[in-house]
Each structure stands twice: as structure tokens, then as C-alpha cells.
Structure 1
Amino acid sequence: MSQSDKFDPTARTYAAQQAYLAIEQQPYDKAEQQLLEQVRRYVQTHSHQNDLRDLAGAIRELMGDAYQVGCGSCHIWIKRSPERLAVVADRLTTAYRDWFEPRVPGGPRRSIRTEQGLPVAGVLITTSTPTR
């Protein structure tokens, strides 16, 4: 590595990120709920980030020593042993949900254009043309 590579004056930039907090487990008590609301307000205030992992230090301070706060490649997780309590992620690339939000239905879905649909196990394929 050359000397000029070590001291590259151009700043490394990341794609813009829009941070949000998803609380994945129901809070144990009122105190935990208040801590999570503080974190949510903090994240909402600082939602536009170049690298949302920069928020980890402040979140660690807000949550205190009873919680484990760490970073993944592009998210922050908050754990109360052994399960993940909440995650701070980028709204533009992820879709985590709060614990009280309904789940999105999973599994294969039929196409509204049956003539172009892929076969689904257990469903008969018909050759009828749709009416308009």
C-alpha cells in the first residue's frame, strides 16, 4: 500500500439511510417501555444518517448497562438476554415491524393475471382466459 493510499483525503461516503426503531418484543414493564420510547424519539430526531451505526453509542447510553447494544453491518440491535428486543435499521432497505403490528401473510400468492401465473403446489392450473 502506498503512502498516498493511507492518507486518502476523500471521505468515504455511504448511501443515505433513514433510521427507524422497531420494537420486536413486548416491553416487560413501564420502565422498559419508557426507555424504548426515549430511544425511538432519539432515532426519529436523528433519522437521516450516512451510517446509522453512528447512533449506537447514544443508544447504548440511553438503554444503560442492563441491555446489550451492538451493530451489524448496517443496523443496531438491542438485546435483553437472550432475545433481541429491538432493532434500528434503514427504512429504505428493510421492513422490521413492532411486536404489536400484524404479520404480513406469507406463502405463495396467486397472480391476478392467471395466464401468466406460476404453478402453486396443490392448485390446479386452468387455461381459461380472463374476462374483461
Structure 2
Amino acid sequence: MSTTHQQAYLAIEIKPADEAENERLLAVRQYVQAHAHQSDLRALAPYVRELMGEGYQVVCGRSHIWMKRKEDTERLAIIADRLATSYRDWYEPATPSGPRASIRTEESLPIPDQVMMPANSPQH
């Protein structure tokens, strides 16, 4: 039986409330970076709970761990698999969505307004 490994990372999704919370999150980030290769992220959860302390809810599944302040409804941070997700820290700009032009402009193709059917497809 082969085991699939995940590459764990921490994304802090909202701005830390204060310096103490920021330090806790940085400690979690360092721990996750030191233990990034996991087959099941649930193995990290007890250590994350310990690092975050009493004021936080830490919930986990096989491929994620999320944290929120106990008095808050918004997720504070998430630990996920870098190979399957792309969560960002709160201060990082959003990535553009949709088709983008090639960085090699000489190889760029125009993006058509309509979906083109292959020449050999039946017409309706």
C-alpha cells in the first residue's frame, strides 16, 4: 500500500489581533514548516492546539487543520496541503483569475470571445 504525502503549509487568513497572537501563529508556522511532509495532517493538530492555547478552536481533517478564535466566527488560519490548495496570508494580494496572456508575448494567442468548435465537429 502506498502512502500519499502532503506538503503542509499555514495560511493566516485574517490579520492577527495583537503581537501575542502573531507570535503564536509564527510558532505554528515554524512547526508546520519543520513537519511539512505528512500523510495525514491530523498528526499535527495536538501540537497546533498546544501552540495556540485555550482561546482558540482547532479543528482538523485528514487534509486540513483550521483555527479560529473561540469568540469569533471567521476562520483565522488554515493548515492545508500545498500540492492541492492555494490559500493565502491576509496581506498577500489576490491572484488574478481567468485567462492570462503569456509572459512570452511572441507566443501569445488571442483569447476568442466565443468558444470555437473543431472543424470536424457536427454542426447543430
Consecutive unaligned residues of structure 1, counting only runs of 5 or more, are 1-11, 121-132
The partner residue of 1:98 within 74, 82, 89 is 89
Larger radius of gyration: 1
The partner residue of 1:29 within 18, 29, 42 is 18
Following TM superposition, the consecutive aligned residue runs of length 4 or more in structure 1 with deviations greater than 4 angstroms are 107-111
Q: Does 1:113 align with 2:102?
A: no
Residue aligning to 2:73:
82
Q: Structure 1: which amino acid aligns with 2:113?
A: P
Structure 1 residues 70-79 or 105-114, which shifts more? 105-114
Identity, % of aligned pairs?
57
Consecutive unaligned residues of structure 2, counting only runs of 5 or more, are 103-107, 115-124
Instruction: Give TM-score, length-normalised by structure 2.
Output: 0.77
- Report deviation, 1:99: 0.5
Compute the RMSD of aligned alpha carbons: 1.9
**Equivalence map 1:1-132=2 (5 Å):** 14-80=3-69, 81-107=72-98, 109=100, 112-114=108-110, 117-119=111-113
Residue aligning to 2:117:
none
- Report deviation, 1:109: 4.6
- Report deviation, 1:72: 3.3
Instruction: Give TM-score, length-normalised by structure 1.
Output: 0.73
